[in-house]
């Protein structure tokens, strides 16, 4: 399925505007390489080039920039085992894949709520408890997130986010975690009504940022989807530990700081 066919509404209707955070703005003129234009001293400057070549890094959000341990603790407080977090998120991914395949898209928050009820019920717990859903809105960034993003920005790298969640909830997480000034733009799967790893979200991100661009995620399935769409990729292995697919291993990083070093070293080379 082509990207145009994945958009909700009549085929041929244009994309909605990306969810841009209030900072320097991306634009370019015909024949120019896209970059971030800023003004200082009455003059316009273009940043976003490393070693003379524009670089963009697109990050997954939940589990990559933001730690899910607060959600795990919320589940444990209800009497669930620590592994209930993985069980819940695997069920969310199963639901997301199902509604994408059958063209029955529902927002992430609705899938998370229904998957939580089933997960709790299977564990013999009260299915109506919602505390873990609230915890999703209060995630903390990984300790190395701000420094890693700042290192990339200071090197002139543009930073975007691509999420299965909503743009509004993602912006609130970024603001709460002190990362909003480091992320230029948010692209949500809501815009194409297809969840990652369907090609449509990645293709929309590529349409906005162009290639070459690097996608960073702590989920093997997300890395596989991004790579198939044309991204260079970095897999952060701090949660999965071993590459979970019988496919070629992507570039591998232990954490966000390590991922930033890999990206900058590759750009400089």
pLDDT of residue 20: 56
Report the percentage of the chain scoring pLDDT > 70.
80
Q: Answer yes or no: are the C-beta atoms of 120 and 88 closer than 8 Å.
A: no
Residue 100 has pLDDT above 90, yes or no: yes
Binned at pLDDT 50, 70 and 90, residue 268 comes out as confident
Tell which residue, 203, 193, 264, has the closest CA to residue 231. Answer: 203
Q: How far apart are CA 143 and CA 236, in angstroms?
A: 14
Structural domain spans, the chain: 28-66+139-268, 69-136
Q: How far apart are CA 178 and CA 198, in angstroms?
A: 30
CATH assignment of 28-66+139-268, among 3.40.50.1000, 3.30.390.10, 3.30.450.90, 3.30.70.940: 3.40.50.1000
Q: How far apart are CA 98 and CA 82, in angstroms?
A: 26
Binned at pLDDT 50, 70 and 90, residue 253 comes out as very high
Residue 137 has pLDDT above 50, yes or no: yes
Q: How far apart are CA 217 and CA 220, in angstroms?
A: 8
The CATH number of the domain covering residues in 69-136: 1.10.150.240
Residue 74 has pLDDT above 60, yes or no: yes
Q: How far apart are CA 163 and CA 41, in angstroms?
A: 36
Query: Average of pLDDT values for 252-265?
Result: 97
Q: Answer yes or no: are the C-beta atoms of 62 and 53 closer than 8 Å.
A: no
Is the pTM for the entire model greater than 0.85? Answer: no
Tell which residue, 112, 137, 118, 199, has the closest CA to residue 162. Answer: 199
pLDDT of residue 79: 98
How does pLDDT run across 158-214, given as a tens digit for each residue? Answer: 999 999 999 999 999 999 999 999 999 999 999 999 999 999 999 999 999 999 999
How does pLDDT run across 3-17, given as a tens digit for each residue? Answer: 333 333 322 223 345
User: What's the whole-number average pLDDT of the chain?
Assistant: 85
pLDDT of residue 71: 98
DSSP letters for 26-66: EE--TTSPPEEEEEETTEEEEE-EETTEE-EEEE--BTTTE
Q: How far apart are CA 54 and CA 157, in angstroms?
A: 7
How does pLDDT run across 210-227, given as a tens digit for each residue? Answer: 999 999 999 999 999 999
Q: Answer yes or no: are the C-beta atoms of 225 and 199 closer than 8 Å.
A: yes
Residue 115 has pLDDT above 50, yes or no: yes
């Amino acid at each position: 399925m082509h990207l145009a066919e994945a958009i909700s509404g009549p085929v041929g209707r244009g994309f909605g505007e990306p969810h841009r955070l209030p900072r320097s703005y991306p634009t370019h003129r015909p024949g120019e390489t896209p970059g971030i234009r800023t003004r200082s001293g009455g003059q316009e400057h273009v940043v976003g080039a490393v070693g003379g070549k524009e670089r963009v890094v697109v990050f997954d959000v939940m589990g990559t920039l933001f730690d899910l341990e607060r959600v795990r603790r919320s589940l444990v407080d209800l009497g669930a085992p620590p592994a209930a977090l993985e069980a819940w998120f695997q069920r969310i991914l199963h639901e997301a894949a199902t509604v994408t395949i059958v063209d029955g898209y529902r927002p992430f928050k609705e899938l998370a709520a229904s998957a939580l009820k089933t997960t709790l019920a299977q564990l013999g717990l009260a299915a109506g408890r919602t505390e873990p859903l609230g915890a999703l809105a209060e995630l903390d960034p990984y300790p190395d997130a701000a420094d890693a993003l700042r290192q990339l920005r200071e090197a002139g790298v543009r930073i975007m986010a691509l999420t299965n969640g909503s743009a509004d909830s993602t912006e609130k997480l970024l603001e709460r975690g002190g990362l909003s000034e480091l992320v230029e733009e948010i692209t949500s799967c809501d815009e194409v009504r297809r969840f990652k790893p369907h090609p449509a979200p990645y293709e929309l991100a590529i349409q906005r940022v162009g290639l070459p661009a690097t996608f960073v995620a702590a989920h093997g399935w997300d890395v596989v989807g991004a790579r198939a769409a044309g991204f260079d990729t970095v897999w952060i292995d701090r949660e999965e530990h071993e590459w979970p697919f019988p496919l070629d291993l992507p570039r591998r990083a232990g954490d966000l700081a390590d991922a930033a070093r890999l990206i900058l070293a590759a750009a400089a080379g």
